[in-house]
């Protein structure tokens, strides 16, 4: 590794912050929703994992709340180029939910109240990389940000963090979701700037 001397001329305003390429910092929390905001009361909310053989594992709100919660502090990177650092969440790890599920699938399609979908490799939902998040900044997650609960997958562009999530379909073959069908990248790694198909 080389030694980099910033010198005086190279000094930046925020020398400690490294953002993915093409991103800028924002302090507020923009709302990005394709279509109307679904209103799902928690007593009618449920979350279902469906395997490639059609087996279903469903959690009611009450059952989800009874699972061990994790506190998560992560940076968010939206493909529209804003990044928000150090966001604070609470939720249930997908490791906890998927531990009970037997599957040979390699892919997952997140499904939402309201019809939005987004696809991810199953391995990107495991090993402490993804949560069903229901609290933001120590408050119940607001409806416009996906409340009562959303997927949180912060290592990928934020469109992969499905709001109003109602389930995960496990698949043997990859199946593109809403934005992926419209030309956005299948995987969406912000550090490799995978915004669009072909990036």
Ligand X SMILES: Nc1nc2c(c(=O)[nH]1)N[C@H]1C(S)=C(S)[C@@H](COP(=O)(O)O)O[C@H]1N2
Out of 33, 38, 57, 78, the only residue in the binding site for Mo ion (CB under 5 A) is 78
Which residues from 68-97 bind ligand X, rule CB under 6 A? Answer: 78
**How far is residue 32's CA from residue 77's CA, in Å, rounded to a whole number?**
12
Q: Which is nearer to Mo ion, 79 or 168 (CB)?
A: 79
Identify the CA nearest to 103 among candidates 60, 151, 54: 54
**How far is residue 146's CA from residue 165's CA, in Å, rounded to a whole number?**
8
Is residue 31 at the binding interface for ligand X, with CB under 6 A as the rule? yes
Is residue 32 at the binding interface for ligand X, with CB under 6 A as the rule? yes
Structure tokens at 5: 């001397």
Is residue 26 at the binding interface for ligand X, with CB under 6 A as the rule? no
**How far is residue 169's CA from residue 49's CA, in Å, rounded to a whole number?**
6
**How far is residue 11's CA from residue 80's CA, in Å, rounded to a whole number?**
27
CB of 179 to ligand X, least distance (A): 6
| Residue reference for tokens 């604070």 | 88
> Which one of ligand X, Mo ion, none is in contact with 114 (Cβ closer than 5 to 8 A by kind)?
ligand X
Sketch the per residue contact string, 142 through 171, with ligand X: x for CB under 6 A, - otherwise.
Answer: ---xx-----------xx-xxxx-------
**How far is residue 15's CA from residue 32's CA, in Å, rounded to a whole number?**
29
Q: Which residues bind Mo ion (CB under 5 A)?
A: 32, 78-79, 159
Q: Which residues bind ligand X (CB under 6 A)?
A: 29-34, 78, 112, 114, 116, 145-146, 158-159, 161-164
């Amino acid at each position: 590794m080389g030694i980099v001397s910033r010198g005086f001329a190279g000094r930046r305003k925020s020398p400690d912050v490294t953002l993915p390429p093409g991103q800028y910092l924002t302090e507020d929390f923009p709302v990005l929703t394709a279509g109307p905001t679904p209103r799902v009361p928690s007593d009618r909310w449920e979350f279902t994992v469906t395997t490639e053989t059609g087996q279903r594992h469903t959690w009611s709100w009450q059952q989800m709340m009874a699972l061990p919660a994790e506190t998560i502090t992560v940076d968010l990177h939206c493909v529209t180029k804003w990044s928000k650092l150090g966001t604070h969440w609470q939720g249930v790890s997908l490791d906890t939910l998927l531990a009970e599920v037997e599957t040979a699938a390699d892919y997952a399609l997140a499904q939402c109240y309201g019809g939005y979908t987004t696809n991810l490799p199953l391995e990107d939902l495991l090993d402490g990389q993804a949560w069903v998040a229901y609290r933001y900044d120590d408050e119940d997650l607001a409806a416009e940000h996906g409340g009562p609960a959303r997927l949180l997958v912060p290592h990928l562009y934020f469109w992969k963090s499905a709001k109003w999530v109602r389930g995960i379909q496990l698949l043997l073959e990859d199946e593109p979701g809403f934005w992926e069908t419209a030309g956005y990248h299948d995987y969406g790694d912000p550090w490799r700037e995978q915004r669009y198909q072909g990036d």
